Structure 1
Amino acid sequence: MSDQNLIERLGDRLKGLRGKLVANAGMDKITWFRTGGAAEALFQPQDEEDLAEFLRVVPEEIPITLVGIGSNLLVRDGGLDGFVVRLSAKGFGWVEQRSETQLEAGAALPDKRLAAKAQEAGIGGFHFFHGIPGGLGGALRMNGGANGVETCERVVEVRALDRQGNRHVLTREEMGYSYRKSEAPADLIFTSALLEGYPEDAETIRKAMDEVQHHRETVQPVREKTGGSTFKNPEGTSAWKEVDNAGCRGLMIGGAQMSPMHCNFMINTGNATGYDLEYLGETVRAKVLEHSGIKLHWEIKRIGKFQTGREIEPFLGQML
């Protein structure tokens, strides 16, 4: 087996790229949980053309995983094979007003900045982004929402690149949105989106954003190392209620804990591993299933490999 890292093995293939390449990149520095093993390599493209070239030159058999701001992400301790792609703020964090009611933005734009731009432009309907701790790309993929509004309500079209570096434009209908997910092909990397709201007084928007912020700070552990909502809301109830009813508020495994403040938030109290966090989540799912018969589904995205001997089965093996 070669001692060369992935970047060295690909050699000349990568020489024309303008973005940043890092071998053995620690994912604990990227995720808000501050846990996770290393990726074989990390690439931060300088712009969309740089990303397209990267996708064209990296062999199909090498896995590519897209990571955004890292807010809604749990990376397992065994790390990731292949490349992690993280869109740069410089190349993909832009936002421009296109009309009285439309904004176009890059996929790496933080949701809070999108809300702020809309408020500045007097475009209503974007205030809820102020309460989503992530980037636009993740909101587009997962149909992120807060305070009763979802991303799909603002989408006109989404621009993306496929695994071969080809460009695509998807309408809102083609995105296939439903609660906390889209049906867009998994291999597409979203690069930007055209979004639409409605005319609204800037001061009215500011008040709505302040209400979103107050709600977050009052009921959510926003100053902890967390990944946001852990589980999707089941039909007819709230995830936090089911977690609470199953006696899991404050439940702790290793350095991972279900927040006493909001028990659908999982937090790293200081020294949690990816194993601690995922084992806690599956323990909670098993307890809720036993208590109420409800199968909670993860909202946090979990990626990477388990460390050997520390694999975790869904619901701890109670039900697959």
Structure 2
Amino acid sequence: MTTLSSHEEKAVPSGRIERVDSDYVLAFDRQFDYPRRYIWSLLTEPDQLAKWLGKPISGFELGQPYELDVGGGAVTGMVLQLNPPLSLQFTWEDELGDESLIEWRTLDSNGGTLLQFRSRAENRDFLTEGSAGWDTLLDALEEVAAGRIPQPQPRRWDQLRDAYASEYTLSNTMGTLGHDSGHPCIRFDRLLPGDRETVWQALTEEQQFSRWLAPGSLELQAGGGIRLDFGTFTMEGDVTYALAGQGLEYSWRSPEVRDSSVHWLLEDSNGRTMLKLLHNLMAPSRAAELLALWHHRLDALALMLSGGEVHLSAHRLEALTHFYRRQTGGTQQ
């Protein structure tokens, strides 16, 4: 557990997540001590947008598509409403193909401007990440409004992501690349439907893990073997630890990833199960590919546990690979 220093404040979400019909809505209301037209210019003028949100490849025009370069990734969409200086509504499709509906409203308030932001999406994928992202982007907007240059806040984003997950009992979606005992370590924390026994069976019974992970075999005891056939490569390893319903560890050897190890931990969480995955590596050279692979397969696990039919998509895996290459800076860490 990380202890906060006296100079470091605990991250507190400034947005709220609501259910509206069958959708998830992320809402922010922020007061600015500046005129409405000035705030509107920060939301819509290309030179201003580039300072805090992303570089516009094409601008906002009613009924027309737009494109933004956001940290090296492309965001596209269609402008649905444009009522200067009151409201702007557009679709937001990221590089993974996930789409949401974004709306800005600027209202005269207390001698300044009340900025209302709403983001509406059909599913909760990346919901904690998106909430933390927009929270930090609105912080950056406040800096730009005051004439300052926003500074990167990666640690604050990490803390906000976990804070949103905790406050709204949601699961983080993305994996992260960090370090454990001096070596690169991939980590995923996923809140899954079902109790620990149900999730344990999905991890360890061959008929089940072949549906979401890969066809293969597992000898569920210390010293037993594991083999998984991912189609493009085969992974083999040895089980080093197995405690029913709680934890599983095994080595991972594949053509491009040698001498690594996988650790699964299951914890009860109010009728659901928190699954924690650690993949310890000797070198980060294939980290992006492994992040994408685990992300892809954990999505399939969640779908299977929810009663859905799993159809693994090569296109989705490729998109995730490009996404994590950008997140990790390629193969370097």
Largest Rg, 1 or 2: 2
TM over 0.5: no
- The alignment's TM-score, normalised by the length of structure 1, stands at 0.28
Q: RCO (CA 8 Å, sep 6+): is it higher in 1 or 2? A: 1
